[in-house]
């Protein structure tokens, strides 16, 4: 307990929601953290107003990823368990949604919570054998899960539901996500707001969970499992619950992903996608739930890092006039795209060296520096 309070002392302000013990005095309504939250929310709400089409789609995707990062962070950051296999729960959410909509005729919005519940079930069940596994072994078991998932999805026996290798195309008759309530809204904009709404709900609930008795028990297990047990906290119960909740949140993200892309297929849910979620969490900041938006951005842009790199190089080349020395634009970009895995890996290594606590850690360090200077 003292440890949790201690963290709070070091980082007043931003981390407070995640670590504030329940008996601490209530904060003012307009604290720094709340202002930032409101600003970010306003910024997100206004996205479709000042931009269109592809960017709105990208931001929708970013929010979906942010939910997945949030899910994994509940497991790793709050409860201290690992997973290299969250692509599996994402896939479960996506397939639940697609199958219910296409074969069951269920309203797609309704499938989102159902997908969460189904993923919770799978997560909880997977957690039970995995409970006995510490760090490394859990990483191994989930690694195996991630590698096996695409193959399981392609299984012939369930092809009539999953569509096998082909996957499932959604909303075939309407071509697009149906906009409900007779709203006169672009389907892309509607999915954005739907995703933002789900994100906000999940985020608020996750924060509430962390602050609750359950959340504190989970953090106690993370910090010192033996002490937690001696305090009467049931390790199996809370660890399995953490796994289940984490899978639930990730499953919701998967369902939203199916709706946004309007398509599910086995090869979207490979080990590489599991890694991508993990990377998003690390960059956002392990244990810092607010970082999920940064993690979502990282997941969105990192795979395309090569193009960004290419643009930066071209921009510099134009600025300093050495563009002539470079291979012609397209060839250069091809080179960078082929190296994208290297760039991606190097960025990861640098993150672990320079900012092991992710963007969250960096932000906290800057905030506390500024506070020290101003006070």
Partner 1 sequence: MELFLQQVVSGISTGAIYACMALAVVMIYQAIHHLNFAQGEMAMFSTYIAWQLMAWGLPWGLALPLAVILSFFGGFAIERIVFKPIQNAPVLSHIVIFIALFSIFNSLAGFIWDFTIKSVASPFGEGPFMGSTLLGKHQAGMIAVTLVMLAMLWAFFQFTRVGLAMRAAAANPESARLVGIRVETMTALGWGMASAIGAVAGILIAPVVFLEPNMMLSILLYGFAGAVLGGLTNPLGAVVGGFLVGIIENLAGTYLGDVGAELKLSIALALIIVVLVMKPEGLFGRKIVQRV
Stretch binding partner 1 (CB under 8 A), from 95-103, 184-192, 195-203, 336-344: 336-344
Near partner 1 in 255-274, by CB under 8 A? 271
Q: Of residues 40, 55, 137, 369, which one binds partner 1 by CB under 8 A?
A: 137
Taking contact as CB under 8 A, which single stretch among the options 59-67, 154-162, 189-197, 215-223 is the one that binds partner 1?
A: 154-162
| Binding footprint of partner 1, residue count (CB under 8 A) | 47
Which among 66-74, 93-101, 205-213, 349-357 is the span making contact with partner 1, rule CB under 8 A? 349-357
If the CB atoms of residues 195 and 250 are measured against partner 1, the closer one turns out to be 250
Q: Considering only CA atoms, which of 51, 135, 111 is closest in space to residue 259? A: 111
Q: By CB under 8 A, is residue 369 in contact with partner 1?
A: no
Q: Out of 106, 117, 147, 308, name the contact with partner 1 by CB under 8 A.
A: 147
**Per-residue string for binding with partner 1, 286-325, x by CB under 8 A?**
x---------------------------------------
Of 106, 117, 125, 152, the one binding partner 1 (CB under 8 A) is: 152
95 lies in the site for partner 1, by CB under 8 A: no
Residues 192-221 that bind partner 1 (CB under 8 A): none
Q: Quick check: 362 binds partner 1 (CB under 8 A)?
A: no
Nearer to partner 1 among residue 57 and residue 143 (C-beta): 143
Q: Find out whether 179 and 188 touch, Cβ atoms under 8 Å.
A: no
Considering only 13-21, 191-199, 244-252, 340-348, which stretch makes contact with partner 1 by CB under 8 A? 340-348
Q: How far is the CB of 195 from partner 1 (least distance, A)?
A: 27
Smallest distance from the beta carbon of 299 to partner 1, in angstroms?
Answer: 14
Which positions lie near partner 1, rule CB under 8 A? 76, 82, 84, 129-130, 132-137, 139-141, 143-145, 147-148, 151-152, 154-157, 226, 271, 275, 278-279, 282, 286, 335, 338-342, 344-346, 348-349, 351-353, 356
């Amino acid at each position: 307990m003292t440890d949790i309070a201690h963290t709070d002392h070091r980082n007043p302000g931003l981390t407070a929601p995640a670590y504030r013990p329940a008996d601490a005095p209530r904060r003012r309504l307009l604290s720094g953290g709340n202002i930032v939250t409101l600003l970010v929310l306003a910024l997100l709400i206004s996205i479709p107003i000042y931009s269109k089409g592809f960017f709105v789609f990208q931001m929708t995707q970013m929010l979906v990823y942010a939910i997945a990062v949030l899910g994994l962070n509940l497991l790793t950051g709050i409860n201290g368990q690992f997973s290299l296999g969250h692509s599996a729960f994402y896939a479960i959410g996506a397939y639940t949604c697609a199958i219910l909509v296409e074969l069951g005729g269920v309203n797609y919005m309704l499938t989102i919570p159902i997908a969460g519940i189904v993923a919770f079930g799978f997560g909880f069940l997977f957690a039970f054998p995995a409970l006995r596994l510490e760090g490394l072994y859990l990483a191994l078991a989930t690694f195996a899960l991630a590698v096996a998932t695409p193959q399981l999805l392609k299984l012939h026996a369930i092809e009539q539901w999953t569509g096998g290798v082909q996957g499932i195309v959604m909303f075939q008759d309407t071509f697009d996500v149906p906009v409900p309530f007779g709203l006169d809204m672009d389907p892309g904009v509607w999915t954005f707001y739907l995703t933002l709404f789900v994100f906000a709900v999940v985020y608020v609930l996750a924060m509430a969970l962390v602050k609750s008795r359950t959340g504190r028990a989970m953090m106690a297990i993370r910090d010192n499992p033996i002490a937690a047990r001696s305090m009467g906290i049931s390790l199996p119960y809370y660890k399995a619950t953490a796994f289940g909740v984490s899978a639930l949140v990730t499953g919701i993200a998967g369902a939203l992903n199916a709706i946004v892309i309007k398509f599910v297929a086995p090869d979207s849910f490979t080990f590489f996608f599991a890694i991508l979620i993990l990377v998003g969490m690390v960059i956002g900041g392990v244990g810092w739930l607010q970082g999920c938006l940064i993690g979502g951005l990282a997941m969105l842009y990192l795979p395309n890092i090569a193009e960004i790199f290419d643009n930066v190089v071209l921009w510099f080349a134009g600025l300093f006039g050495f563009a002539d020395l470079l291979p012609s634009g397209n060839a250069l970009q091809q080179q960078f795209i082929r190296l994208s895995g290297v760039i991606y890996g190097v960025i990861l290594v640098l993150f672990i060296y320079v900012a092991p606590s992710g963007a969250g850690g960096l932000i906290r360090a800057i905030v506390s520096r500024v506070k020290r200077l101003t006070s």
